[in-house]
Chains A and B, each alone.
Chain A
Amino acid sequence: MFQRIDEKVEVAGVYKAATFVPKKIKWGKKVLLIEKVTLISDIRDGAIRKRMYSLLCGGELYRVVFNRDTEIWILEEIWTE
């Protein structure tokens, strides 16, 4: 099940073919290495555009949302089995 987190995180990544590819998440004191981006979803809430990255790190799935207006990254949910 997804566990709600809703906490600010920092994300580092690289630009590949003009697209941002996240590589690391800094969540509190933890640094998570991203193994795979499984899905990218563009979300609109009113005129606010957000991009949700579904990321595999250490065998867990993280939903991290980038608010393209405020440029803030939020770790929204983690899938735990």
Chain B
Amino acid sequence: MDRVIFHVDINSYFATMLQQENPMLRGKVVGVIKGVGRSCIIASSNEAKKLGIKTGCVVKDARAIAPDIILVPANFDLMLSATRKLKSLFETLSPSVDIFSLDEVFLDLSGCEKLFESHILYAKFIQQRIKETLGEWVQCNVGISHNKLLAKMAGEVGEKGSVSVIDANNLDQVLSTIGFKDVCGVGWGLSKKLGFLGVFHPYEINLLDDQTLLQYFGPHWAVELRKVGRGEETHLFTHEKKVEHAQSVGRTITGYTLCDDEDQIRRVLLNLLEEATHKLRKMDLVGRKVGVSLHGHDRNWGDYATLKYWVRHTDEIFDILYHGMYKKWQRDFSVIKFGVWIGDCKPARDIPMSWLQNWNKREKVYGVIDRVNDRFGNFTLMPASLLGGPIIKPEVTGYLGDRVYLGL
């Protein structure tokens, strides 16, 4: 092997960490929910997965499968702390660490072969170190190959807690048996389309000629699928992820029930915007596009505007979103999901300095607010209209969209 890539994936991360924390949950069917009263399972334990209770399953359906399922609210602080510990650990194990998501990492160990006896032994050493760092209940799969696509694939096909290798000896065999659900980057729609052409395993892509791939999948996917068929790294892994700054900052939340209360909707939008603009300022960005989206039971509404000037202050953006957009909405359905975003972002240092008195005044005020909140905790200072009710605080997501903000 010229390159040596390890893919480390913690098994059922959210549920496993809660089982690690709470031994009473170990070996039991556990469903992680976002909060008490929520109806969607956002992660499930290995025991639950064996019964078919997967991420996205509705609590009612899960209870029909396993009436004794234990529902535990997620603790995002705990997850973020564990991920930070993992990151520090991985940095001691490899010179090149690529955090792929909250619970997945690629370690490039090319040229380090002399530091360890064999790939398998080093993988087992990594598994041991993870147990020492996070706890004895935490298991991980390690996939080893010469590129990221195959290393991840190796991790997917292995048993829980195993070490799997894909090399020249078993490459064709793996590619001709693995399903597309275990191939990173090939989604449900693409695999369905491939199924129409009689292709159910990556190796079978090689039986399609270039013309057919081009005709059915277009110029981009024709090339990418050819790579998948050969077990080569696709754009998903080779694409340079390290952007200099975030392109957009947004925040969404799904409520517990449909909401038709004007004050409540206003409050949620302001709360979400408060968080989004704080992130924007913390990353020292400004944006030119702003938008709002509302989802009901089966309908949705959204609006956005491209401004002729740059914004990053909560009150200014809220005025545009709420008075300029939301107030024009006909309010013809009740809302369950709320979202706000600021796009077309740029570093504040790259825009001409503002001479407007109002901008500079706001900049000073928000600078102070941010410093207080950074020192004493989020939402220590906040708009008065958010007082006296529950505050929606920042959360970490599985795919780590916030990695720039979180410093990961």
Residues of A within 8 A of B (CB): 1-2, 36, 38-39, 41-43, 45-48, 52, 54, 56, 59, 61, 79, 81
Given contact pairs A46-B380, A61-B24, enumerate 10 new A-B contacts (beta carbons under 8 Å). Answer: A39-B135, A41-B75, A41-B78, A42-B84, A46-B377, A47-B374, A48-B376, A48-B377, A56-B23, A61-B22
Given contacts A38-B135, A46-B374, A47-B375, contact A54 B81 (CB under 8 A): no
Q: Answer yes or no: B132 CB below 8 A from chain A CBs.
A: no
| B71, closest chain A residue (CB) | A1
Task: State A1–B37 Cα separation when bound (angstroms).
Answer: 12
Task: State A42–B134 Cα separation when bound (angstroms).
Answer: 12
Whether B77 pairs with A52 at a CB distance below 8 angstroms is yes
Whether A45 pairs with B23 at a CB distance below 8 angstroms is no
Whether B77 pairs with A79 at a CB distance below 8 angstroms is no
Whether A54 pairs with B24 at a CB distance below 8 angstroms is no
Query: Which residues of A are found within 8 Å of B22, using beta-carbon distances?
Result: 38, 54, 61, 79
27 sampled A-B residue pairs with Cβ under 8 A: A1-B72, A2-B73, A39-B17, A39-B20, A39-B21, A39-B78, A39-B134, A39-B135, A41-B77, A42-B81, A42-B85, A43-B77, A45-B378, A46-B374, A46-B375, A46-B380, A47-B374, A48-B377, A52-B77, A52-B78, A52-B81, A54-B21, A54-B22, A56-B23, A61-B21, A61-B22, A61-B23
Q: Tell me the smallest distance from the CB of A4 to a CB of chain B, in Å.
A: 10
| A48, closest chain B residue (CB) | B377
Query: Which residues of B are found within 8 Å of A47, using beta-carbon distances?
Result: 374-376
Q: Answer yes or no: B93 CB below 8 A from chain A CBs.
A: no
Main secondary structure, interface of B, reads: helix
Q: Answer yes or no: B373 CB below 8 A from chain A CBs.
A: yes
Task: State A56–B135 Cα separation when bound (angstroms).
Answer: 14
Task: State A22–B172 Cα separation when bound (angstroms).
Answer: 53
Which residues from 1 to 34 on chain B have a C-beta closer than 8 Å to any C-beta of chain A?
Answer: 17, 20-24
Query: Which residues of A are found within 8 Å of B72, using beta-carbon distances?
Result: 1-2
1/0 contact string of B324-354 vs chain A (CB within 8 Å): 0000000000000000000000000000000
CB-based closest 9 A-B pairs: A41-B81, A45-B377, A46-B377, A39-B21, A54-B21, A43-B77, A41-B78, A47-B375, A42-B81
Whether A38 pairs with B20 at a CB distance below 8 angstroms is yes
Task: State A2–B18 Cα separation when bound (angstroms).
Answer: 12
| B406, closest chain A residue (CB) | A44
| A81, closest chain B residue (CB) | B24
Q: Answer yes or no: B82 CB below 8 A from chain A CBs.
A: yes
1/0 contact string of B80-108 vs chain A (CB within 8 Å): 01101100000000000000000000000
Whether A46 pairs with B373 at a CB distance below 8 angstroms is yes
| A42, closest chain B residue (CB) | B81
Query: Which residues of B are found within 8 Å of A42, using beta-carbon distances?
Result: 81, 84-85
Residue among B77, B82, B376 with the most chain A CB within 10 A? B77
Task: State A11–B77 Cα separation when bound (angstroms).
Answer: 22
Q: Which one of B78, B134, B378 lies within 8 Å of A46 (CB-CB)?
A: B378
Task: State A61–B285 Cα separation when bound (angstroms).
Answer: 43
1/0 contact string of B348-386 vs chain A (CB within 8 Å): 000000000000000000000000011111101000000
Query: Which residues of B are found within 8 Å of A2, using beta-carbon distances?
Result: 72-73
Query: Which residues of B are found within 8 Å of A59, using beta-carbon distances?
Result: 24
Q: Which one of A1, A38, A46 lies within 8 Å of B21 (CB-CB)?
A: A38
Q: Tell me the smallest distance from the CB of B403 to a CB of chain A, in Å.
A: 15
Task: State A43–B82 Cα separation when bound (angstroms).
Answer: 10
Q: Tell me the smallest distance from the CB of A37 to a CB of chain B, in Å.
A: 10
Query: Which residues of A are found within 8 Å of B376, using beta-carbon distances?
Result: 46-48
1/0 contact string of B285-301 vs chain A (CB within 8 Å): 00000000000000000
Task: State A46–B77 Cα separation when bound (angstroms).
Answer: 13
Task: State A7–B214 Cα separation when bound (angstroms).
Answer: 65
Q: Tell me the smallest distance from the CB of B394 to a CB of chain A, in Å.
A: 10
Query: Which residues of B are found within 8 Å of A56, using beta-carbon distances?
Result: 23
Task: State A45–B77 Cα separation when bound (angstroms).
Answer: 10
Whether A38 pairs with B78 at a CB distance below 8 angstroms is no
Query: Which residues of A are found within 8 Å of B373, using beta-carbon distances?
Result: 46
Q: Tell me the smallest distance from the CB of A6 to a CB of chain B, in Å.
A: 15
Query: Which residues of A are found within 8 Å of B36, using beta-carbon distances?
Result: 1
| A50, closest chain B residue (CB) | B77
